[in-house]
Chain A
């Protein structure tokens, strides 16, 4: 597969909650291997946009085409497509009644029908990658925030997704734990995982991102490689945003 292959194509996406128009005609293409970082002020629609990609939010209108299939179609097999789109949440959303191992193996076994043995072997491999192989039998309540988020990433990776969506993955963490989660994400990016990341971590955007989207009031107003985005921002809203946070 070439790096230019379009993985997700979003066309004229709109989302309204009651009277508020949260996404306004958003169109964008995400190619295989890209690390797209979405930044912008709060309330700009970043998270809603990300949640529309795997239809956790139902778009009001517009199309999302994932791997050539229009998943916004009424009869699309959404469960099948979601298996290919991992998602990591701000508040981890680990399953508190299950052990770390069970958290990771649940979906591969129940959604994909993989055997327990196979699922556990894969889980151990992934746990090792994030340095938590010794916590397999722990319950989520026994883990630190950083550990929880790394487990949440592993849980998504266990489904062997083609793209990973990150919804402010470090915003609920104590500052000293942000690094360990970002390191895992960096590693993923280096391995060629396609990622869409909503974050306030500008360092990550600059270092790992291949593209930065800036959203404001429900629109994508800037779409640039990180170097250009940070060094030569053009849109006045972006300049204002950057001057506030950098």
Chain B
């Protein structure tokens, strides 16, 4: 009986100890000296890089997709040439690690120019994601029946008008879900922004760790934040897909 009590006491005591140490650690890592601001500020930068590089990526991707589609459909020397250049871009970007690309942009291309790290990161990640988005968009356009372009052209609409009013509105249903996945991948890839000393979310956690000599709290917090954003994006994507599918059955 006494032994039992002792054991119970021990468990409760351990729990109390754990709880105390948890709040202590939480306090040291996040509250003291407003350290949570490293995470908040990092999160802000991470979201800015993701959003703007996604926009750049989609614009580059759309241009390349249309160039490649045109080069396939027409035997035009100019578009053949542009398509060749696009192929080189795709090969280089997809054939080298994003970290290396980021370092090249920061230490070579923008070495002698005084621009913010954030801008360098947005450009580097934007150019990177353009390569992946272009294939997604091209495939989405290619999936539209050839007869749609023929019908538009036979009515006297130009290639551009048919693209804009007929092909792209349909292709977007194929493209959006895949672009959403690209966006999720991009969000996680921006975690290497710390390589150019940019204080993104990951780097923010890192700074806390170097101040407190505590790895567990900041790293788990950073991981949780990424996870929550990705889960939210995935849910948004699912509902988007559902809505697109519904509009197909109209």
Q: Mark B151-167, 1 if CB is under 8 A from A, else 0.
A: 11111111001000110
Q: Is the CB of A93 within 8 A of B155?
A: no
B212 interface residue per 8 A CB criterion? no
Complex Cα distance, B153 from A97, in Å, reads 17
Contact with A89, one of B147, B156, B157, B169 (Cβ below 8 angstroms)? B147
- Which residues of A have CB within 8 Å of B250? 139, 141-142
B231-250 contacts to A, CB under 8 A, are 247-250
A137-163 contacts to B, CB under 8 A, are 139, 141-142, 152, 155-156, 159
- Which residues of B have CB within 8 Å of A79? 153, 156-158
Complex Cα distance, B166 from A48, in Å, reads 24
A75 interface residue per 8 A CB criterion? no
Q: Is the CB of A93 within 8 A of B151?
A: yes
Q: Is the CB of B155 within 8 A of A83?
A: yes
Complex Cα distance, B150 from A181, in Å, reads 21
Q: Taking the nearest CB of chain A, how far is it from the CB of B56, in angstroms? A: 27
Q: Mark A33-57, 1 if CB is under 8 A from B, else 0.
A: 0000000000000000000001010
- Which residues of A have CB within 8 Å of B158? 79, 111
Complex Cα distance, B250 from A86, in Å, reads 27
Complex Cα distance, B161 from A107, in Å, reads 9
Q: Mark A75-91, 1 if CB is under 8 A from B, else 0.
A: 00001111111110101
A59-101 contacts to B, CB under 8 A, are 79-87, 89, 91, 93-97
Complex Cα distance, B165 from A107, in Å, reads 10
Q: Is the CB of B153 within 8 A of A89?
A: no
Q: Is the CB of A111 within 8 A of B150?
A: no
B170 interface residue per 8 A CB criterion? yes
Q: Is the CB of B157 within 8 A of A93?
A: no
Q: Taking the nearest CB of chain A, how far is it from the CB of B68, in angstroms? A: 20
Q: Is the CB of B148 within 8 A of A110?
A: no
Q: Is the CB of B150 within 8 A of A159?
A: no
Q: Taking the nearest CB of chain B, how far is it from the CB of A50, in angstroms? A: 11
Complex Cα distance, B165 from A80, in Å, reads 18
Q: Taking the nearest CB of chain A, how far is it from the CB of B228, in angstroms? A: 35
| Given A89-B150, A97-B169, A111-B161, A159-B155 contact (CB < 8 Å) | yes
Q: Is the CB of B155 within 8 A of A56?
A: no
Q: Taking the nearest CB of chain A, how far is it from the CB of B163, in angstroms? A: 12
B145 interface residue per 8 A CB criterion? yes
Complex Cα distance, B158 from A1, in Å, reads 30
- The count of chain B contact residues (Cβ–Cβ below 8 Å) is 21
Q: Is the CB of A107 within 8 A of B145?
A: no
Q: Is the CB of B169 within 8 A of A56?
A: no
Q: Taking the nearest CB of chain B, how far is it from the CB of A152, in angstroms? A: 8
Contact with A93, one of B147, B156, B169, B247 (Cβ below 8 angstroms)? B147
Q: Taking the nearest CB of chain A, how far is it from the CB of B75, in angstroms? A: 9
Q: Taking the nearest CB of chain B, how far is it from the CB of A4, in angstroms? A: 27
CB-based nearest A residue for B172:
A97
- Which residues of A have CB within 8 Å of B150? 56, 87, 89, 93
Complex Cα distance, B145 from A86, in Å, reads 20
Q: Is the CB of A107 within 8 A of B157?
A: yes
Q: Mark A92-128, 1 if CB is under 8 A from B, else 0.
A: 0111110000000011001110000000000000000
Contact with B154, one of A54, A112, A139, A141 (Cβ below 8 angstroms)? A54
- Which residues of B have CB within 8 Å of A54? 154
List residues of A whose CB falls within 8 A of some B CB.
Answer: 54, 56, 79-87, 89, 91, 93-97, 106-107, 110-112, 139, 141-142, 152, 155-156, 159
19 residue pairs of the A-B complex, CB under 8 angstroms, read: A79-B156, A82-B156, A83-B156, A85-B154, A86-B155, A87-B150, A89-B147, A89-B154, A91-B147, A95-B151, A95-B166, A97-B247, A110-B165, A111-B155, A112-B156, A139-B250, A141-B248, A152-B151, A155-B155
